[in-house]
Structure 1
């Protein structure tokens, strides 16, 4: 289902636009500022950097999806042969970029000795998975706010920003609500759950952290599947409208 020539083309097309510079610069500068003073606490620092990647990749994803204003999508789908293959490949570019940046963000403070104590294998795995999953989640929620889905760019950006803020503050918001509304934290993108998991991982049993990470992964995968199915249906509808 993955088309490698198309993947290379999409990546090259985006990098030539230089629209990646601002979100990448935001993530790099934010991470470097965070670690400008040492020693830093291990999991608390990773909770912050994973959140920064969530924000940064929501921004980068929106830029990536809008960099050519959808002008080439119909042509690329026609060239690829299947809409599903195109959208999966388009989405895979974001997943690959999030994986690379997440690995670098986790390794950087370890390589530069920014922590006062050894990270350890378990904490390293928790931090890496949290970074990958939140970067991937940020990329995924931005899919639904691209110009092909919401023509008013200002409104799309505003709604995405609101969703980002609510996702980060999810558990804090539900703490102030009646007990019956706790489920709202689990309907929102589970950013606050991962932040809470990292900040308290040393105090809790490992299986609690695994559940939080698994929920985040399942949430993102379901969102990705919904997007691909909806995008294919939308493309088929537009094709029928134009041909009819």
Structure 2
């Protein structure tokens, strides 16, 4: 079985490279420090960890996609007999780390009873959805710029940081200058995730949540398709 062997190889390469240590250590330390005090609100706290996961998974994805030099990459693609499988294997490793960090961010405050009240099942569902989408945005962003800027890692980092900054500030920019609403469409709609993380006493999901969720699903599908086609073309 080539694909399981390739995934195992990618995991070993990433672990042996030790490049996973900075992002995971930073994320873990941030979670512990952030939840130093108990009695904090539920959803606004999780909104912060969603943003943190978005940033960290961009970092993780870029480090996973920079494991091999061009020669080793070409050899792996030849062995797999598919550029798509090479890309899917990279994404699998990213999703594995995203799962571990996302679950840690969700479970940690619940385990130690950090919140001032018990979490509702509806809130928990929104929290899981938010962390999943945030992780996917980070993986897509990191892999996209790793592919298009493969010969310039510094420029790839700067480009991804710019996109992250704009996507996080997008809601405020669009409110002040409505013309930018359409210009911001290519940027990850992360604000349309965290805007629903409100600490209302009676939390509920309105129609605007489902409209935003539909757009996010469409965005993710289109982003994956674009990234796959771009990778196949450039490699």
Which shows bigger deviation, 116-125 or 97-106?
97-106
Contact 1:130 1:213 in 2 (8 A): no
Question: In the TM superposition, what is the alpha-carbon distance from 1:12 to its structure 2 partner?
Answer: 1.1
Contact 1:69 1:147 in 2 (8 A): no
2:90 is matched with which residue?
Answer: 90
Q: Hey, what's the Cα distance between the residues in 2 that align with 1:156 and 1:134?
A: 20
**Number of aligned positions between the proteins:** 233
Contact 2:41 2:199 in 1 (8 A): no
User: Equivalent residues in 2 for 1:212-223 (5 A)?
Assistant: 212-223=212-223
SS at match of 1:119: coil
2:20 is matched with which residue?
Answer: 20
Q: Does 1:195 align with 2:206?
A: no
TM-score, length-scaled by structure 2: 0.91
Question: In the TM superposition, what is the alpha-carbon distance from 1:185 to its structure 2 partner?
Answer: 4.2
Q: Hey, what's the Cα distance between the residues in 2 that align with 1:61 and 1:190?
A: 19
- Structure 1 residue ranges (4+ consecutive) displaced by more than 6 angstroms after TM superposition: none
User: Equivalent residues in 2 for 1:228-243 (5 A)?
Assistant: 228-235=228-235
2:167 is matched with which residue?
Answer: 167
Contact 1:94 1:136 in 2 (8 A): no
Q: Hey, what's the Cα distance between the residues in 1 that align with 2:211 and 2:31?
A: 27
Gap regions ≥5 residues in structure 2: none
1:240 is matched with which residue?
Answer: none
2:224 is matched with which residue?
Answer: 224
Contact 1:14 1:64 in 2 (8 A): yes
Contact 2:43 2:127 in 1 (8 A): yes
Contact 1:19 1:67 in 2 (8 A): no
SS at match of 2:44: helix
Q: Does 1:5 align with 2:5?
A: yes
Which shows bigger deviation, 89-98 or 125-134?
89-98
1:74 is matched with which residue?
Answer: 74
2:104 is matched with which residue?
Answer: 104
2:33 is matched with which residue?
Answer: 33
Question: In the TM superposition, what is the alpha-carbon distance from 1:203 to its structure 2 partner?
Answer: 5.8
Question: In the TM superposition, what is the alpha-carbon distance from 1:11 to its structure 2 partner?
Answer: 1.1
SS at match of 2:116: coil
Contact 2:189 2:216 in 1 (8 A): yes
Alpha carbons of 1:70 and 1:114: their partners in 2 closer, same or farther (altered >3 Å)? farther
Contact 1:14 1:20 in 2 (8 A): yes
Alpha carbons of 1:69 and 1:147: their partners in 2 closer, same or farther (altered >3 Å)? farther
Q: Hey, what's the Cα distance between the residues in 2 that align with 1:203 and 1:176?
A: 28
User: Cα RMSD (Å) of the superposition?
Assistant: 2.0
